[in-house]
Amino acid sequence: MHPSESPRTSTAPAPGKRLALFDLDCTLLPVDSDYEWARFLIRLGVVDGPEYQRRNDVFFEQYHAGTLDIQAFLAFQLAPLATHPRAQLDAWHRQFMAEVIEPAIRPAARALIERHRADGDLMAIVTATNEFVTAPIARAFGVEHLIATGVEAGAGGYTGRPLGTPSFREGKVRRTGEWLAALGRDWDGFERSFFYSDSANDLPLLERVTDPVATNPDPRLAALAAQRGWPILRLFE
């Protein structure tokens, strides 16, 4: 450096001064991993095809309409986990990742995560989908922290029941707060907090952060974002 020059002042935030939260299905992924896992099990012949697909479609429609009974859905979604050994489930999930999820991961979604990583932000994926389905997906995105609906396990494997508060609607706010507390942090300790989501079901968490971003928004969220002046991000167009 020349003696007459002054050191440049970095405008990047200090590490950990910002919080970046990401919904998963139809936000970072252009597909719904819940819905696709059910379809994958049907293709394998693990579950009854026509009836399971019918119920899967009904729950999917209820979710988008904002009328989903989360406990009823979890009873349906988690039941197959209780009827097969963990080793078999893990093998199926590796196949699911290779055939369904990894081909669906887009560069734009990875780039969004990497921008926040480069800024030193504390990041987490916050999803209502259960942790069995989503933990390998979070790893594929390189995101260390996952806040997903828990799955109860016993000595013999999964029980088919949820564990704790589902990370759905207001549950996402509660579970995120609990996660921050476990890290010795709280909402007020961040200069800015971001949440990226496609769904109006995520309104409670979108309203909790300083920077809500409607990402690939469904019609209900797109209308709400326009009314409130929230930015709209479309990753897959």
Taking residues 115-122, what's their average pLDDT? 97
Taking residues 223-232, what's their average pLDDT? 98
Under 8 Å between Cβ of 78 and 160: yes
Active site (annotated) includes residue 25: yes
Which residues face 122 on adjacent strands? Answer: 19
Rounded Cα gap, residues 149 and 63, in angstroms: 15
Instruction: Report the pLDDT value the prediction gives residue 204, as an integer from 0 to 100.
Output: 98
Torsion 163-92-58-203 (CA) sign: positive
| Domains of the chain, first to last | 18-228 (3.40.50.1000)
Instruction: Report the pLDDT value the prediction gives residue 165, as an integer from 0 to 100.
Output: 96
Contacts of 200 (CB under 8 A, 6+ apart): 66, 218, 220, 221, 224
Nearest of 69, 70, 89 to residue 80 by alpha carbon: 89
Instruction: Report the pLDDT value the prediction gives residue 155, as an integer from 0 to 100.
Output: 85
Rounded Cα gap, residues 32 and 50, in angstroms: 19
Q: Report residue 7's pLDDT band, with 50, 70 and 90 as the boundaries.
A: very low
68-77 residue pLDDT tens? 999 999 999 9
Three-state SS letters, 121-186: CEEEEEEEEEHHHHHHHHHHHCCCEEEEEEEEEECCEEEEEEECCCCCCHHHHHHHHHHHHHCCCC
Nearest of 145, 148, 142, 101 to residue 118 by alpha carbon: 142
Nearest of 161, 134, 149, 157 to residue 79 by alpha carbon: 161
190-214 residue pLDDT tens? 999 999 999 999 999 999 999 999 9
Taking residues 2-14, what's their average pLDDT? 36
Taking residues 45-60, what's their average pLDDT? 92
Instruction: Report the pLDDT value the prediction gives residue 16, as an integer from 0 to 100.
Output: 74
Residue 150 has pLDDT above 80, yes or no: yes
- What is the model's pTM? 0.91
159-175 residue pLDDT tens? 999 999 999 999 999 99
